[in-house]
Amino acid sequence: MNTFTHIIKRTWVVVLTLLLLWVIPSTLQRLLEEKAYYPFTYFSSIRKEFCTTEIISKNNVERRDESGNTYTTAQFDSIMPLFYYRQLLSKGTMPDSINGYPVSIRSIRTNGFFLRVNSSAIDKPEIPLYPLMEVYTGRMKLEMPDDLFRITNGLEFVDLATNKVNREKSEKFAKALDKYGIQYPVKHCYGNPTTRKSYDEGYFIQDANNHLFHLKMVNSKPFVREVKSVENISIRYFKMYEVGNRSFYGFLFDEENNVYLLTTDHYKLKKLPFKYDQTQEELLIMANPIYWTVQITNKKGRFYHAVDAHSLKVVHHIEQAYELDTWDKFAPILFPFTLKFEKYNSEYKYPRITLGSVWCIMIGAILALITLIIDIRKNRRKLWLKYIWILTTGIAGYISLFLLKRL
């Protein structure tokens, strides 16, 4: 067999092994993986403890509190009035106050919000074109503009109809940013570009020196402010959120996993009483006028914090552990490494290698030993490179060599 044939065969072995290290684990994962299930959990402003709704079977839903008490549907609505307020209002049983706080539809809607932050929010592709809406439209709702702006090494507005740069508008807004000393290239532009909100606060722009600037359009004129309160914070991400009561601009996350509320009171920061690793965890905040139910999910389980909406202090905390499913238990043992194109905390698709545990070496060693014994019994030439390949790649390497003999 000539050298060229050797190269072709070895290339086929490598390619086939890598293919199997992707196909076999992904197929087994679809068959064995069980989606983590957690009951719906919310902090009761009446019971002052977490209450859960769990589906036992198709016609059996269990509603209980931490003390072990079970409830009917109507009873459960009554102990969580700020979540099921529409149902209580329809029956005329909505309380006027809870724990001394007056409660109204307006207060629930303006002080309540649902905020979800996925771990893939940082590592994802983004089209760097942003609509800057007029704050005062004179209309009942916000309207999308006829242009988009881009800001990397400078700010430019591009007309959507002609695809041409609006020089006059671009220079006006660029000068306003330059006045505050923005440094290019810009790293991030954080905003909430949707008209499905009651008002617009524009964008927060992180420049080359990690300084944060607030940009919005008021009566067709640029409004710019530098956010001095974040100068000593290593910003990882900023989640813009225009809440109904206009008390804050959004949530700021830093590299030390701290979470801050950027308030509308002269851009003051309020540090929230919990940690959140955005690269590994999912965050959900279900807020009402009295308490925030903060839900943080990671590979170990789900963690709940009840945060007082006024003092922003944790008043209660529980954990729900995650039990490893069949795939989580056996995947590190079966494969020395696997090839994946997707990752739960990223929206980019490219090859990624995930290492297994040291126990998978035993499977590779057993397969390599079996191959050696077969070669000895059949008087085949002993190729140590082949045994090393099976030892390091395990089942995938063994199958690729077996299939190559059959081709």
The rounded distance, in Å, linking the Cα atoms of 149 and 141 is: 21
- For residues 131 and 269, membership in a common domain is answered with yes
The rounded distance, in Å, linking the Cα atoms of 345 and 283 is: 13
DSSP state of 339: E
Structure tokens, 150: 């881009």
pLDDT at 171: 96
Residues in the chain: 407
Q: Kindly state the average pLDDT of the residues 383-390.
A: 82
In this predicted structure, the answer to whether residue 406 has a pLDDT above a threshold of 70 is no
Least confident window among 34-43, 272-281, 336-345 = 336-345
pLDDT at 85: 94
- Angle at CA of residue 194, ends 43 and 135, nearest 5°: 105
Helix, strand, coil percentages, rounded to 5, for the chain: 30, 30, 40
- For residues 146 and 84, membership in a common domain is answered with no
pLDDT tens-digit readout, 51-69? 999 988 878 899 999 999 9
Least confident window among 45-49, 224-228, 358-362 = 358-362
The rounded distance, in Å, linking the Cα atoms of 104 and 202 is: 29
- For residues 7 and 61, membership in a common domain is answered with no
pLDDT at 382: 67
Q: How far is CA 95 from the centre of its chain?
A: 36
pLDDT tens-digit readout, 75-103? 999 999 999 999 999 999 999 999 888 99
Domain count, the chain: 3
Would residue 177 count as lying in a domain?
yes
pLDDT at 1: 53
- For residues 224 and 239, membership in a common domain is answered with yes
In this predicted structure, the answer to whether residue 407 has a pLDDT above a threshold of 60 is no
Read off the pTM: 0.86
Q: Which residue has the tokens 């700021």?
A: 252
In this predicted structure, the answer to whether residue 5 has a pLDDT above a threshold of 60 is yes
In this predicted structure, the answer to whether residue 4 has a pLDDT above a threshold of 80 is no
Any idea of the CA torsion for 288, 292, 293, 299, to the nearest 10 degrees? 140
pLDDT tens-digit readout, 174-218? 999 999 999 999 999 999 999 999 899 999 999 999 999 999 999
- For residues 178 and 269, membership in a common domain is answered with yes
Give the range of the structural domain holding residue 7, as residue numbers without chain letter: 3-34+329-406
Burial (CB count <10 Å: 0-12, 13-18, 19+), residue 353: exposed
- For residues 218 and 186, membership in a common domain is answered with yes
Contact between 345 and 120 under an 8 Å Cβ cutoff? The reply is yes
- For residues 253 and 184, membership in a common domain is answered with yes
- For residues 127 and 258, membership in a common domain is answered with yes
Burial (CB count <10 Å: 0-12, 13-18, 19+), residue 362: exposed
In this predicted structure, the answer to whether residue 260 has a pLDDT above a threshold of 70 is yes
Would residue 65 count as lying in a domain?
yes
pLDDT at 224: 97
pLDDT tens-digit readout, 101-146? 899 999 999 999 999 998 888 888 889 999 999 998 777 789 999 9
Would residue 304 count as lying in a domain?
no
- For residues 166 and 274, membership in a common domain is answered with yes
| DSSP run (H or E) holding 329 | helix 326-334
Q: Kindly state the average pLDDT of the residues 294-306.
A: 94
Would residue 300 count as lying in a domain?
no
Would residue 7 count as lying in a domain?
yes
Would residue 292 count as lying in a domain?
no
pLDDT at 151: 94
State percent of the chain over pLDDT 90: 59
Q: How confident is the model at residue 70 (pLDDT cuts 50, 70, 90)?
A: very high
Supply the mean pLDDT for the chain. Answer: 89
Contact between 292 and 50 under an 8 Å Cβ cutoff? The reply is no
Would residue 111 count as lying in a domain?
no
- For residues 7 and 27, membership in a common domain is answered with yes
- For residues 64 and 7, membership in a common domain is answered with no
pLDDT at 341: 84
The rounded distance, in Å, linking the Cα atoms of 114 and 292 is: 10
Contact between 333 and 356 under an 8 Å Cβ cutoff? The reply is yes
Beta bridge partners of 281: none
Q: Kindly state the average pLDDT of the residues 356-362.
A: 78
pLDDT at 335: 82
The rounded distance, in Å, linking the Cα atoms of 82 and 102 is: 12
- For residues 219 and 167, membership in a common domain is answered with yes
Q: How confident is the model at residue 352 (pLDDT cuts 50, 70, 90)?
A: confident
Would residue 215 count as lying in a domain?
yes
Contact between 193 and 130 under an 8 Å Cβ cutoff? The reply is yes
Q: Which of 294, 213, 325 is nearest to 41 (CA)?
A: 294
